[in-house]
Amino acid sequence: MRIVLKSEEVRRRFGRMFSNSILTIVDEKNAVLELIEECTAKGPVEWDLLNRLRAGGAAYAGWIEGKTLFLRAKIGKFDVNFGPADFQRGGQALESVEVTEKEVTTTWIGIAGAGLGLAACLSQAPGVLEAEYPSKDDLEKVGGSFQNRVKIKTPKYKKLVLGIDNTDVKMKGATWASALKVALDTSEKMGLKLISHRIFQCYPEIEWKTTNNVSSSVVFALPWNVSSEEVLKAFVERIRPLCYSNEACLVAYEGIEVPKELKDFGLRVKKEIVGLEEALELAEKFKLDVIPITGKKGAIGALAALALYDEGIKYAAFDDDPALRRVKT
């Protein structure tokens, strides 16, 4: 007998747990899901991430930022393998991902304490529409030596990645600050989730650069019924008054995984001078939106910032930056 509970009903049953939010972002064209979970502490998400990647299933990559877990998975159903010592080690896995017009359903399997994390904790996170337990045992026999299954239904979002550059001049403005200000304002007014704002360090030895030669990326999660075109129009309208250069440009990509050729381009922009024509040709090849706000030259830094938006701390560093050797990983 299956049991379906709203997130608040799960919370009343088990008491307040530790999942602060869950967000499911889908790229249906490439059959990819990005799941973002925020916890009250770092320990649970570190443990969850390693268990999920070890067990296989739909999950194929992930990382931790602070107390937030980013998990990437394939859409579909996949075999799970906890290994030979299931109950001694515990385990947690994402078995399948199903997508409809408005919603995402993720199916989870947990053993021992990892089952508690799914049946009682993740299932009550803000952002969960409902949790479906296949049987009474999946809801009542939680933790210890038991195995649990649960299907979690959440709203569907899509990802819009923006790169922007050359909004400032030597004596006025700052691209990173303008991009963040407009990103916060746009997300609040349009009901978007602002996933990240980052500062990309371009090659510093360029004669036409402003002070630091940095560009910026902004990443939004859009509800299923909000179009990228609407967001781009609103963002450009809000940032145009903050552009002081004649070469401010924005590049946009709707999706999760960025093609390797674009990533390679971004790495080159860190270490050498790259021409505008090449940037525009790449953007056309991968069907990216290039929006000249006051001009086109900013497309170089904007495309690089977009291309590497999900890379680590090297994003903000110079190529071969000595500061990186002091960063603890």
Verify that 191 and 83 share a domain, yes or no. no
The C-alpha atoms of residue 142 and residue 113 are separated, in whole angstroms, by 8
> pTM for the whole thing?
0.95
For 74-118, the pLDDT digits (tens) are: 999 999 987 654 544 558 999 999 999 999 999 999 987 778 889
- Judging by DSSP bridges, how do beta strands 19-27 and 147-165 pair with one another? parallel
How is residue 139 written in tokens? 């809801």
Verify that 137 and 178 share a domain, yes or no. no
How is residue 176 written in tokens? 């990173």
Report CA-CA distances (Å) from 224 to 28, 126, 274: 12, 18, 36
With tokens 């408005």, the residue in question is 102
How many Cα atoms occupy the beta-carbon half-sphere of 290 within 13 Å? 22
Verify that 171 and 245 share a domain, yes or no. yes
The C-alpha atoms of residue 191 and residue 203 are separated, in whole angstroms, by 35
Verify that 134 and 30 share a domain, yes or no. yes
For 144-170, the pLDDT digits (tens) are: 677 889 999 999 999 999 999 999 988
Write the CB contacts of 199 (distance below 8 Å, at least 6 apart in sequence): 176, 214, 215, 216, 315, 316
Q: Is residue 329 one of the residues assigned to a domain?
A: no
For 116-125, the pLDDT digits (tens) are: 889 999 999 9
Verify that 146 and 196 share a domain, yes or no. no
Check whether 322 has a pLDDT greater than 90: yes
Q: How buried is residue 185: exposed, middle or buried, by Cβ count under 10 Å (0-12/13-18/19+)? A: middle
Final residue before a domain boundary, out of 106, 134, 157 = 157
Verify that 82 and 226 share a domain, yes or no. no
Write the CB contacts of 143 (distance below 8 Å, at least 6 apart in sequence): 112, 113, 115, 116
Domain extent, residue 263, equals 166-320
Q: Is residue 325 one of the residues assigned to a domain?
A: no
Verify that 153 and 171 share a domain, yes or no. no
Verify that 42 and 68 share a domain, yes or no. yes
Amino acid at the residue 71:
L
CATH number for the domain spanning 218: value is 3.30.70.2200
Verify that 140 and 233 share a domain, yes or no. no
Verify that 190 and 125 share a domain, yes or no. no
Q: Is residue 260 one of the residues assigned to a domain?
A: yes
For 174-214, the pLDDT digits (tens) are: 999 999 999 999 999 999 999 999 999 999 888 776 667 89
Provide the number of structural domains found in the chain.
2
Verify that 139 and 245 share a domain, yes or no. no
Give Cα 105 distance to the centre of its chain. 18
Verify that 51 and 187 share a domain, yes or no. no
